[in-house]
Amino acid sequence: MNYKLLFTRSILLLQICLSVLYFSTTNSFAHQNTLEKVKSTGVLIWGFDAEGGAPYVFHDPKHPSKLVGFEVELVAAIARELGVKVQHFQNAWDSILLSLQRGDFDIALNGIEITPDKEPSVLFTRPYYVYAEQIVVRASDNRINRPEDLRGKKVGTLYNTVAKRMLEEMGEITVNIYSGQVEPFKDLSLSRIDAVFVDLPIASYYAKPNPQLRLVGKPAGEGYYGIAVRKEDTALAEELNKIIEKLLRTGELQKIYSRWGLWNTAQEKLFLHEEPLQKYTENLPSVSEKVSPSVTKFLPTLLKGALVTVGISILSMMLAVGLGLILAITRLYGNTWLQRISTAYIEIYRGTPLLIQLYILYYGLPNIGITLSAFAAAILGLGMNYAAYEAEIYRAGIQSIPKGQTEAALSLGMSKRLALKRIILPQALRITIPPMTNDFIALFKDSSLVSVIAMVELTKSYSILASASMNFFKLGIITALLYFGMSYPLSLYARKLEKKLRLYDRNP
Amino acid sequence: MIEIHNLSKQYDNQPLFKGLHLNIAKGSVVTLIGPSGSGKSTLLRCMNGLESFQEGHISVNGQKLYGIHEQNYNKAQVHLTLKNIRRKVGMVFQQFNLFPHMTVLHNIIESPTHVLGISQAEAESNAISLLQKVHLEEKAHSYPDQLSGGEQQRVAIARSLAMKPEAMLFDEPTSSLDPEMIEEVLAVIKDLVSEGMTTVIATHEMSFASDVSTDVVFLERGEILEHGSPKDIFYNPKNDRMRAFLSRFMK
Ligand SMILES: Nc1ncnc2c1ncn2[C@@H]1O[C@H](COP(=O)(O)OP(=O)(O)OP(=O)(O)O)[C@@H](O)[C@H]1O
Ligand SMILES: [Mg+2]
């Protein structure tokens, strides 16, 4: 192989990628003044994530096409004051500030906590809500009453939140990070975790109506939600500040919050805060010092994620290879019923998305009394999915062995089973090694999908770090390099194996 | 030793054998000759159960294999009968069918150790003496693809002999060999025959057939048209088609 050529080509490719990225980020400079643009077009584009859930912005369960939530009402009031219409922009919460910077929408308003680490990238208005962090436990569980009791427990929280950092700083806590708001409460009722620690609005909306769950202790770590705008949009921020103040004074804000059961005495503090941003954040008990952009700081977390990725990949591949063999053999040699079952298994697993299979395993099975840990669900989900593909590789391998081999074995007095074990499989397995190595590489990359079931592997570690530090680019390159560094040697090995097996059609 | 009684076989409604009878006495050497597609291979394969048949029965050493439409046919018992027959009857194929992932030695000891339960050491020493018999002792540790066709076929014969069979079936053992290798294989078979092994050979080697066989069977379209001593068949054929067939070979 010509490594030099390969190397120069890779560099070229990287350069192309970089320049594409560069040009796509520069379009935020296109708007000189967002306030003017909003007024002239008569439209305020609002970025949020409806998947984040209630009571902020969510799809009305009774009319799923309609968005409801206290923030929907708040934005409607703001737009009315501005004399414009609201245009919705659905965006994944993890990357909401990034999309704001890119210029996808004018304001980001979606339970975004005002914290100093976001300061370099966006501008915040004065707060529109005072939140605090709340502990939720199972109603039957008396062990946890204060934040200190969380030590040594498994606690669920949301991605890139103050609650998450508070938990991490308390130490000795196993933190399970979720991107949706429903899942942590689900896992809590299933005893997969011991407590949930989240912003009070979320806790009261999801846990209060659920008799299985209970809010304990006083809300801790008061903080503020603000509207984020682009750094250069000072005029828009000032205009929004005026509107928030007006809504406060007229009592409209209180009315909206009360409707959602969110008004409490803490909200009185909203009137006091007209000071610059620092004032809102300096009392935060738990925000870490400004995240340094130095790569070395992220590396240990990413490497830990990589280790989890490798572990999951290896274990699930082992399952896939073992189960796949059983499926292939029952499909080829089993009685009619076994053949039907394994054929159905293979077709169903190959014909449905892995993501759905993972959701069913992790969140669906508990409905029939089977509660798997995230790790077990990840291994089972990936392994059972890939088993279907490996089964077909085995089948092709077995069928490629000439019939004469079986006949020779049978004529020597071997039983069918022995002939399969000693003569057919050893030959078939060697044929299957290269395609299976390739499948392992594919599985290795597919393992990033298990992040949806609260597994923190490499991709999840990346998105947690990136959304916390806003450093999507540099971290993205590092993460991609980590994946590549692990999969490339494997694919070289697969190619070498393939060549070797083609050259010598026998044991070395 | 092998009795074929009223054998009927068809392939997807295409009848091949229609009530065929053949007795193969212990120690006899039977050559099956006939045009391509006449059923030589199929007949051999029926004898050790690689091919099933519809009617009649084949008895090998007293073990009876029934056609699947016979009322004596018993699915549960077929396994056992086949096992007993195959341990007593070896078979050598046109394509050798050596196991490519094993050395010559392993090819030979595989079945004795795993089927008969003979110890590795004993099986190996048997294998070495069999390799000496086929003049290939120096190839014990080679892989099949390192051997010539003639050598592979001799290993295949040694492999079958390792099971200590009482009869051997050969299906055109020299048909896929280059001419210069045919003799070395035939020589091995001749040795075997001279030791008294009951042998059935499908072949197109007429002079060899006339040389070694006690019985020659001429098959055409699944029917035995002539059955007799080589002298009768080759020098005094009664059947016209037999004569026509021979004239193509004996020029
Ligand atoms: N698996 C099969 N399915 C259908 N027909 C078959 C099958 N095997 C053999 N036959 C048919 O049975 C007949 C006898 O075939 P067989 O191979 O026994 O002949 P043969 O005498 O060995 O011929 P050759 O000298 O070419 O080896 C042929 O007409 C062939 O087409
Ligand atoms: Mg044939």
Query: At B132, which amino acid appears?
Result: Q
What is the model's pLDDT at position A322? 95
- Residue A288 neighbours by CB distance under 10 Å: 12
Q: Whose CA is nearest to atom 25 of ligand 1?
A: B36
* CATH number of the A295-506 domain: 1.10.3720.10
pTM attached to this predicted model: 0.75
**Is the minimum distance from the CB of B15 to ligand 1 under 6 angstroms?**
no
DSSP state of A292: P
Using the mean position of ligand 1's atoms as its centre, give its distance from the Cα of residue B36 in Å. Answer: 8
DSSP codes joined into one string, A447-475: GGGGGGGT---HHHHHHHHHHHHT-HHHH
How many domains does one find in chain B?
1
Handedness of CA A293, A294, A297, A298 (dihedral sign): positive
**What span, in angstroms and rounded, lies between the C-alpha atoms of A494 and A223?**
53
DSSP state of A93: G
Residue A83 near residue A213 (C-beta atoms within 8 A)? no
Q: What is the 3-state secondary structure (H, E, C) of chain B?
A: CEEEEEEEEEECCEEEEEEEEEEECCCCEEEEECCCCCCHHHHHHHHCCCCCCCEEEEEECCEEEECCCCCCCCHHHHHHHHHHHHHHEEEECCCCCCCCCCCHHHHHHHHHHHHHCCCHHHHHHHHHHHHHHCCCHHHCCCCHHHCCHHHHHHHHHHHHHCCCCCEEEEECCCCCCCHHHHHHHHHHHHHHHHCCCEEEEECCCHHHHHHHCCEEEEEECCEEEEEECHHHHHHCCCCHHHHHHHHHHCC
Q: Whose CA is nearest to atom 17 of ligand 1?
A: B41
Q: Is the pLDDT of residue B129 over 90?
A: yes
In the three-class reduction of DSSP (H, G, I as helix; E, B as strand; rest coil), residue A508 is classed as coil
Handedness of CA A150, A154, A160, A161 (dihedral sign): negative
Q: Does a structural domain hold residue B239?
A: yes
What is the model's pLDDT at position A506? 47
Residue with tokens 């046109």: B94
Non-local CB neighbours of B108 within 8 Å, separated by 6+ positions: B123, B127, B130, B131, B155, B158, B159, B162
Is A404 near chain B, with CB under 8 Å? Answer: yes
Residue with tokens 């089964």: A391
pLDDT in tens, B191-242: 999 999 999 999 988 888 888 999 999 999 988 988 989 888 888 888 888 8
Cα A495 to chain centroid distance, Å, stands at 33
**What span, in angstroms and rounded, lies between the C-alpha atoms of A197 and A185?**
10
**What span, in angstroms and rounded, lies between the C-alpha atoms of B35 and A137?**
87
**Is the minimum distance from the CB of B222 to ligand 1 under 6 angstroms?**
no
* CATH number of the A129-225 domain: 3.40.190.10
- Contact list in B for residue A409 (CB cut-off 8 A) is 99, 111
**What span, in angstroms and rounded, lies between the C-alpha atoms of A320 and A447?**
13
**What span, in angstroms and rounded, lies between the C-alpha atoms of A226 and A125?**
6
- Contact list in B for residue A407 (CB cut-off 8 A) is 50, 93, 97
Q: Which CATH superfamily is domain A34-118+226-287 in?
A: Periplasmic binding protein-like II (3.40.190.10)
Q: Whose CA is nearest to atom 5 of ligand 1?
A: B11
**Is the minimum distance from the CB of B37 to ligand 1 under 6 angstroms?**
yes
What is the model's pLDDT at position A27? 45
- Contact list in A for residue B90 (CB cut-off 8 A) is 411-412
Non-local CB neighbours of B116 within 8 Å, separated by 6+ positions: A413, B87, B163
**Is the minimum distance from the CB of B28 to ligand 1 under 6 angstroms?**
no
pLDDT in tens, B77-97: 888 899 999 999 999 999 999
Picking from B179, B162, B53, B161, the residue whose alpha carbon sits closest to that of residue B109 is B162
pLDDT in tens, B41-66: 999 999 999 998 999 999 998 889 99
What is the model's pLDDT at position A273? 59
Angle at A213 between CA A209 and CA A217, to 5 degrees: 105
- Residue B144 neighbours by CB distance under 10 Å: 22
**Is the minimum distance from the CB of B111 to ligand 1 under 6 angstroms?**
no
DSSP state of A92: -
**What span, in angstroms and rounded, lies between the C-alpha atoms of B109 and A456?**
53
Q: Does a structural domain hold residue B251?
A: no
Residue B167 near residue B199 (C-beta atoms within 8 A)? yes
Q: Which ipTM did the prediction report? A: 0.94
Q: Where in chain A is the domain with CATH 3.40.190.10?
A: 34-118+226-287, 129-225
- What does each C-alpha distance from A407 to A112, A330, A404, A424, B80 come to in angstroms? 71, 20, 5, 11, 17
Interchain CB contacts (distance < 8 Å): A and B? 68
**What span, in angstroms and rounded, lies between the C-alpha atoms of B151 and B131?**
10
Using the mean position of ligand 1's atoms as its centre, give its distance from the Cα of residue B37 in Å. Answer: 5
**What span, in angstroms and rounded, lies between the C-alpha atoms of A91 and A109?**
11
Residue B4 near residue B186 (C-beta atoms within 8 A)? no
Q: Which ligand is in closest contact with the Cα of B219?
A: 1
User: Any idea what the CATH number is for the domain that residue B74 is in?
Assistant: 3.40.50.300
Q: How far apart are the first and last CA of chain A?
A: 23
What is the model's pLDDT at position A276? 47
Q: Average of pLDDT values for B16-25?
A: 91
Q: How far is B92 from chain A (nearest CA, A)?
A: 8
Q: Is the pLDDT of residue B74 over 60?
A: yes
Non-local CB neighbours of A361 within 8 Å, separated by 6+ positions: A372, A377, A380, A381, A453
Q: pLDDT tens digits, chain A, 508 residues: what are they?
A: 344 455 545 555 555 545 445 444 444 444 468 999 999 999 999 999 887 677 888 888 787 778 889 999 999 999 999 999 999 988 888 778 888 887 889 999 998 988 887 888 899 999 999 888 899 999 999 999 888 889 999 999 987 788 888 888 888 888 888 877 888 998 898 888 999 999 888 888 888 888 999 999 888 888 889 999 999 999 999 999 999 999 999 999 999 998 888 888 788 888 775 554 444 444 444 334 344 456 677 888 889 889 999 999 999 999 999 999 999 999 999 899 999 999 999 999 999 999 999 989 988 887 888 878 888 999 999 999 999 999 999 999 999 999 999 999 999 999 999 999 999 999 999 889 889 999 999 999 999 888 877 777 898 888 777 766 667 788 889 999 999 999 898 888 888 887 777 655 544 3
Q: What is the 3-state secondary structure (H, E, C) of A381-400?
A: HHHHHHHHHHHHHHHHHHHC
Residue A409 near residue A485 (C-beta atoms within 8 A)? no
Residue B118 near residue B112 (C-beta atoms within 8 A)? yes
Q: Does a structural domain hold residue B77?
A: yes
> Which domain, by its residues, includes B58?
2-246
pLDDT band with cut points at 50, 70 and 90 for residue B144: very high
